[in-house]
């Protein structure tokens, strides 16, 4: 049951607002296990819609699902030098396979006789176990490409966790593909970035910038990491998805070669790409307001809620005589409808609850509406409502859902544009970065300069934007040459700096 103590306003404490909202809207909560969350049914219903939309896109682009083991032999991690460096410090390690009764009679203890010969790691990501498997699947160019995806849980022992944004265990999908040529692998990594960007913008209504990571921010073991970056309402950046061109690194680590058409043995080229339940955090922080969640209609578990306003059963019966057929008409259009005829809560309570839960459209009808042939339609995104003719309201609502989807995307895009600015000197940068948002700056391309900026300002390069992005503010000079704001060395284009989640 919803808790109607008001949310802390975003302006007062954005972080607190987020934490409260996730819990009060019944999306997720902390569990008894440090850093691991429980995803509650309402939150999971949104995640299921995200999964369904992505899974369809993966299959349409020729991918198949498979499943690889949860546990990875410790020695596998070490095979790729950068990879182990990136993940060893935050691994959950399985060392034993049995408990036994405590000799002192208090519950159970680890059985020292059941120590594993080699420790196993709960997968933080699956490149190593998958490439050890691909070795058996690949011998000739005829076996390529392999285009696999897996939906799975993974674990990274983060020290500071936040629901959805950074949890020790999270759910995700990880695509792992194997190719005969470098060009094909790069094309795959870019294609999947495009799939993510289209999904983020069209389904989640989150505008994203497509780009490439600087070397400092690359995935451990990748030659190039492509990413989509989104701006949250506090002006911070959130990485919403990544796609990696892995070169031949993992093929070499696990000795995966294929006989080419030219009858030569060559190492296989690889990509991997993933998005996670972190997207739930991006969704919440992009659209929601001080009254609660705002959900894009494409992902809302309930798109329309119908609330009859009644005192007596007789009133309800009369209202339902027209509202039940309306619900059926909406369902026939593929709209997800809930009719709330409960008499346990007041209409005011219900309205606040559906607002908190982000239901895009709320329809209410009372006795007077019935007499007048009217109905009240409220939209969650603008919090506006209007009383309109009941006749044909189903058409109006279907169109309204699309309008809301577009509107929240536009609102988020406008916000990003307003908070993205070009900065040309490091002095200005240090001041501007305090205000949040994306800063478009020239950078000399060196890790040293990036590191210095990060140390001094906490800002990182979110990405080196690609050319096919939606234009930034006003006249777009991002792809003009210039000079690094720190060192004055030449720069080919501006990059996006921000403080990131």
Query: How far apart are CB 125 and a copy of itself at their closest, in Å?
Result: 15
Q: Between 48 and 183, whose beta carbon lies closer to a copy of itself?
A: 48
Overall size of the chain counted in residues: 501
State in Å, rounded, how far the first CA of the chain is from the last one. 30
Query: How far apart are CB 27 and a copy of itself at their closest, in Å?
Result: 11
Query: How far apart are CB 100 and a copy of itself at their closest, in Å?
Result: 7
Query: How far apart are CB 336 and a copy of itself at their closest, in Å?
Result: 12
Query: How far apart are CB 164 and a copy of itself at their closest, in Å?
Result: 12
Q: Between 32 and 471, whose beta carbon lies closer to a copy of itself?
A: 32
State how far the Cα of 358 lies from the Cα of 295, in Å rounded to an integer: 5
3-state secondary structure of 131: helix
Query: How far apart are CB 379 and a copy of itself at their closest, in Å?
Result: 26
Range list of H helices, 242-392 = 249-253, 278-287, 313-332, 347-356, 367-372
**Do residues 149 and 175 make contact, with C-beta atoms less than 8 angstroms apart?**
yes
Q: Between 133 and 286, whose beta carbon lies closer to a copy of itself?
A: 133
Query: How far apart are CB 304 and a copy of itself at their closest, in Å?
Result: 19
Q: Between 77 and 478, whose beta carbon lies closer to a copy of itself?
A: 77
Q: How far is CA 357 from the centre of its chain?
A: 19
State how far the Cα of 98 lies from the Cα of 115, in Å rounded to an integer: 8
Q: What is the 3-state secondary structure (H, E, C) of 146-213?
A: EEEEEEEEEECCCCCCECCCECCEEEEEEEEEEECCHHHHHHHHHHHHHHHHHHHHHCCCCCCEEEEC
Which of 221, 197, 281, 229 lies closest to 22 in space, CA to CA? 281
**Do residues 207 and 413 make contact, with C-beta atoms less than 8 angstroms apart?**
yes
DSSP 384-417: -EEEEESTTHHHHHHHHHHHHHHHHHHHHHHHHH
Query: How far apart are CB 105 and a copy of itself at their closest, in Å?
Result: 11
Q: How far is CA 142 from the centre of its chain?
A: 35
Q: Between 43 and 436, whose beta carbon lies closer to a copy of itself?
A: 43
**Do residues 152 and 272 make contact, with C-beta atoms less than 8 angstroms apart?**
no
Query: How far apart are CB 37 and a copy of itself at their closest, in Å?
Result: 7
Q: Between 92 and 259, whose beta carbon lies closer to a copy of itself?
A: 92
Q: Between 141 and 196, whose beta carbon lies closer to a copy of itself?
A: 141
State how far the Cα of 283 lies from the Cα of 268, in Å rounded to an integer: 36
Q: Between 169 and 422, whose beta carbon lies closer to a copy of itself?
A: 169
φ, ψ for residue 114 (rounded to 5)? Answer: -110, 35
Q: Between 37 and 294, whose beta carbon lies closer to a copy of itself?
A: 37
Question: How many other C-beta atoms lie within 10 A of the C-beta of residue 344?
Answer: 7
Q: Between 94 and 464, whose beta carbon lies closer to a copy of itself?
A: 94
The HSE-up count of residue 308 (CA atoms within 13 Å, CB side) is 24
Q: Which residues bind a copy of itself (CB under 8 A)?
A: 1, 29, 31-33, 36-41, 44-45, 47-48, 64-78, 84, 88-101, 107-108, 110, 119-122, 129, 132-133, 136, 142-143, 148, 152-153, 155, 157, 169, 171, 344
**Do residues 186 and 194 make contact, with C-beta atoms less than 8 angstroms apart?**
no
Query: How far apart are CB 50 and a copy of itself at their closest, in Å?
Result: 13
């Amino acid at each position: 049951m919803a808790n109607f103590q008001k949310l802390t306003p975003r302006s007062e404490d954005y972080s607190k607002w987020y934490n409260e909202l996730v819990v009060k809207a019944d999306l997720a909560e902390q569990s008894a296990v440090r850093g691991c969350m429980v995803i509650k049914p309402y939150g999971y219903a949104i995640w299921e819609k995200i999964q369904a939309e992505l899974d369809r896109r993966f299959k349409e682009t020729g991918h198949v699902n498979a499943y690889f083991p949860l546990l990875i032999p410790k020695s596998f991690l070490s095979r790729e030098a950068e990879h182990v460096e990136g993940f060893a410090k935050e691994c959950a390690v399985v060392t034993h396979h049995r408990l036994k009764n405590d000799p002192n009679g208090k519950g159970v203890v680890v059985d020292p006789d059941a120590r594993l010969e080699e420790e196993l790691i709960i997968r933080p990501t699956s490149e190593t176990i998958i490439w050890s498997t691909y070795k058996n699947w690949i011998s000739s160019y005829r076996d390529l490409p392999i285009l696999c995806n897996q939906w799975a849980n993974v674990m990274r022992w983060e020290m500071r966790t936040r629901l959805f944004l950074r949890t020790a265990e999270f759910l995700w999908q990880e695509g792992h593909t194997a190719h005969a040529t470098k060009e094909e692998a790069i094309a795959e990594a870019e294609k999947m970035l495009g799939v993510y960007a289209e999904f983020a913008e069209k389904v989640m209504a989150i505008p994203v910038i497509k780009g490439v990571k600087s070397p400092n921010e690359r995935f451990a073991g990748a030659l190039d990491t492509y990413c989509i970056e989104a701006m949250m309402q506090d002006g911070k950046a959130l990485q919403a998805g990544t796609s990696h061109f892995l070169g031949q690194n993992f093929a070499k680590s696990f000795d995966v070669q294929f006989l080419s058409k030219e009858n030569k043995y060559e190492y296989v080229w690889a990509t991997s790409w993933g998005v996670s339940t972190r997207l739930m955090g991006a969704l919440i922080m992009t659209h929601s307001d001080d009254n609660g969640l705002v959900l894009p209609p494409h992902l809302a578990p309930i798109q329309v809620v119908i609330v009859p306003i009644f005192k007596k059963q007789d009133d309800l019966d009369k209202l339902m005589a027209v509202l039940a057929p309306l619900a059926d008409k909406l369902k026939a259009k593929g709209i997800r409808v809930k009719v709330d005829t409960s008499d346990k809560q007041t209409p005011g309570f219900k309205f606040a609850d559906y607002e908190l839960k982000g239901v895009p459209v709320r329809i209410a009808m009372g006795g007077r509406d019935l007499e007048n042939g009217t109905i009240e339609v409220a939209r969650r995104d603008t919090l506006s409502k209007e009383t309109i003719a009941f006749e044909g309201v189903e058409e109006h609502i279907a169109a309204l859902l699309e309008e809301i989807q577009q509107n929240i995307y536009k609102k988020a895009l406008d916000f990003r544009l307003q908070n993205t600015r070009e900065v040309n000197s490091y002095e200005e940068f240090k001041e501007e970065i305090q205000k949040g948002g994306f800063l478009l700056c020239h950078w000399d391309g060196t890790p040293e300069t990036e590191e210095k900026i990060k140390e001094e300002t906490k800002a990182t390069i979110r990405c080196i934007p690609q050319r096919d992005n939606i234009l930034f503010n006003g006249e777009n000079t991002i792809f003009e040459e210039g000079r690094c704001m720190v060192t004055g060395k030449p720069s080919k284009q501006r990059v996006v700096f921000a403080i990131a989640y």
